[in-house]
Amino acid sequence: MPVNTERDDYKEMKPRWQRVRDCEGGRDAVLAAGELYVPSLPAKNAEENVAYRARGSFYNALLRTIQGMVGAIFQEAPEVEFPTTFKTYLDDITLTNIPFEMFAQTTGREVMIVGRYGILVDMPLDPSPDARPYCIGYKAEDIINWRTTRIAGAEVLTMIVLRETVEELDPKDPFITPCVMQYRVVQLIGAACITQLWREDKDKKNEYVQYGAATVSMRRGMALDFIPFVFICATAATPELEPPPFIDLADVNLGHWRNSCDYEYGLHLVALPTPWVSGARNAEQGTPMKIGPSVVWELDASGSAGMLEFSGSGLGAIMSAMDEKKKQMAVLGARMLEDVPSVNETASAVKMRHSGEHASLRTVTQSIELGLTMILQIVVWWKGTDAKPVDVKVDVELNKEYNTIKLSAQEMTAALQALQADEISFETWYNILVTGGWAREGVTPENELKSIEKRISDKKAREPKPDPAIVPPARPKLIKRTAEGYRIEEENA
């Protein structure tokens, strides 16, 4: 079989990826798909069907949802535990001037869109001491084939085929840089990781030949005994394919697009003023009648004329279907499309409505964290001295606090009253302030107590002290016995 052979499960997943990609691409993408998403009308020519689809309005709920989810994960910069010696690697993790934070965002976006992304760690062939490993990201569609083998009780990646697009200068014209498709085959042969590049034969179409010599990935004079490639999926960092996280939302979004095309087409047919005439004397068979201020229609005695009026009962049903799909998209994750409640909601109610969504988002975030950590471990291990990548002390932590609802003044007051009544501890009360957005980030309860004590001490130190020279002496006290008992009085001056 040729090098561009695709796995069966890959081919089965491609249509799902395409639907999500087209939705994410917006109106131009779904419109370019033509009949794939909006079947042609019967008895209509190609131009009429193009106009029929062009009238539709695409409501891109999927894109807004993905933007919101990725924004929630990366609203704070990733926290990376990384050896100081290699810290500069994070400034350009791909050797193409892309910092790690931006690379992580691209990874997160791809995982949100199709539920899959692949990262290969490679080393330049340059043998100089300054050569260092770098990362290459691959979309799900470009990871066309792979194979795993059980070795020593573990499932090990032993082959992967990656599709790449490279620019190749035209020898006849230096200003033309055509793109060439090539396939990178990385295999574990014996105990060595070997890479081969394949390109289409210029003399034989659809036949591929090896391009250049095969290379062996080396570290400290020894061949790598594993393939430095990591799959990052929505729920795990494994090669197994998973459906895109928002495939259901994409399908409803495309259904809404079909409804919109039908609705706008229906309005075009029935909502425009349409004249009609019956019993016209000057009408010729098969010839359209003209209308205008200089045209006169001669009617028979029983003839009549008028304008067609729009009733629109069928269009109302389409509009109801579109509204129902908007609600479905809101349930499936499009928070930005939710109807605003008719009454004020408490912060707790909003949290409850989104708790399930945040749980799944947290799972995706954890999977991305794991994949990025594994990649950075390989990067450091390749140039470091650790025995195995898992021995490298590297950790990536992404934001997993997605609640944007802050603690209300009433809730904060209630928490303060509970503290004053000794119903909760200071630590619990302070945690409520942190999660509710009322406290400084990264400050522990102990540090906050120290800050409070210092503020009280500084305030006392700033208070003016009375001058002893102007303070009147205290008057002597006299104890007098009365009928009611003893009483202390000051002696009269």
* DSSP-derived secondary structure for 18-71: HHHHHHHH-HHHHHHTGGGTSPPPTT--HHHHHHHHHT-----HHHHHHHHHHH
The answer to whether 157 and 121 are in contact (CB under 8 A) is no
| 228-285 residue pLDDT tens | 999 999 998 999 999 999 999 999 999 999 999 999 998 888 777 778 788 777 666 6
Kind and range of the H or E run holding 14: helix 8-25
Q: Give the domain ranges of the chain.
A: 407-493
Return the pLDDT at 493: 46
Kindly report which listed range (82-86, 152-156, 299-303, 353-357) carries the lowest average pLDDT score.
353-357
Q: Can you tell me the mean pLDDT for 218-233?
A: 95
CB 136, CB 122: distance < 8 Å: yes
Q: Check residue 12 and give its pLDDT.
A: 97
pLDDT of residue 469: 60
What whole-number distance in Å separates Cα of residue 432 and Cα of residue 264? Answer: 51
Please report which residue ranges of 332-346 form alpha helices under DSSP H.
Answer: none
Q: What is the pTM of this model?
A: 0.75
Region of poorest pLDDT, from 13-27, 194-208, 233-247, 275-289: 275-289
Residue 137 burial (CB count, 10 A): 18
pLDDT at residue 353 greater than cutoff 70: no
As a whole number, mean pLDDT of residues 426-437 equals 78
